[in-house]
Structure 1
């Protein structure tokens, strides 16, 4: 590599990246498949410490459930806006989302939920675009719904903050209040 031919170097880098993604396969308790990411089937437990105070300090990687789960119907509504209403912004968002997710369909190495973060950013834009269309129809009701949604997003962030940041909490709190799905190990 680095022989002065930029195209040759680019090609060699592409081959190295492909080889890495094809060959890096190992068992990991927090690995998940691409089709499980939007549902947050298995958060990634990055760090766990049992403290002398009897509390635990946990750092996990996953998205805000209120945002990620509401983004699933927003994705379908965005597809509708693109295909039926011919909305160009919706089309751009759908193509952007697909371009971020599509490569993972062919990757058979060990992958984790954080690899969905680029898609989730596009889905947040989809949520905003859907909000725009609802706002055009009924601004008063949409404003109330948006404020309730914002409160739910903030509430979920505050609830999950301890296991996102490593803030010490009782293990019982994490088990009873934060492990919403069976695959969630946050304590």
Structure 2
């Protein structure tokens, strides 16, 4: 769910008001809509009896579900192998929505724009030197420490 990033590094000795940090977490636009998209894709594919999606669902399940039952702490990189299948489910749901509602193209364009912008915005957490105010504005959740 991308609730707590893995914090790797914070620079020291920078000018006051400046910081450089490295944190690892997924794009909120992708990760926060990912599991609902998988569930929606399963429902849509079951109703339409589309067997081709079974490969994607099986691959996602084999990559994602084992980590849900691990009792120790897990990190984002444990789930990276499931992301391509989660994105394929998102694409499938988007495709189905556009077939059913042609005007959904605007919502899809908006979603893809938001995903791209969030990539650019959060890329600053890759070790670039930025203002501490910028980093503070990126902390959307209390659990986001970087």
Note closer, same or farther for the CA distance 1:173–1:138 as it changes in structure 2 (3 Å cut): same
Larger radius of gyration: 1
Distance 1:91 1:142 in 2: 25
Q: Which residue of 2 aligns with 1:27?
A: none
* Per-residue Cα deviation, 1:98-141 (whole angstroms, up to 9, x for no partner): 110122234334421121111122111111111111121123x1
Distance 2:72 2:2 in 1: 19
Q: Which residue of 1 aligns with 2:90?
A: 127
Q: Which residue of 2 aligns with 1:49?
A: 11
Q: 1:179 aligned to 2:139?
A: yes
Mapping of residues 8-19 of structure 1, within 5 Å? none
**Helix, strand or coil at the partner of 1:184:** coil
Q: 1:61 aligns with which of 17, 24, 37?
A: 24
Note closer, same or farther for the CA distance 1:73–1:107 as it changes in structure 2 (3 Å cut): closer
Q: Which residue of 2 aligns with 1:13?
A: none
Distance 1:124 1:168 in 2: 31
Ranges of 4+ aligned residues in structure 1 off by more than 4 Å: none
- TM (normalized to structure 1)? 0.71
Which moves more between the two structures, 74-83 or 45-54?
45-54
Q: 1:167 aligned to 2:139?
A: no
Q: Which residue of 2 aligns with 1:8?
A: none
Aligned residues: 145
Deviation at 1:41, TM superposition (A): 1.1
Q: Could you tell me which runs of 5 or more consecutive residues in structure 1 were left unpaired when the two chains were aligned.
A: 1-38
Superposed CA RMSD in Å reads: 1.6
Highest relative contact order (Cα 8 Å, sep 6+), 1 or 2?
2
Distance 1:48 1:90 in 2: 42
Q: Which residue of 2 aligns with 1:118?
A: 81
Q: Could you tell me which runs of 5 or more consecutive residues in structure 2 were left unpaired when the two chains were aligned.
A: none
Mapping of residues 93-112 of structure 1, within 5 Å? 93-112=56-75
Distance 1:122 1:50 in 2: 39
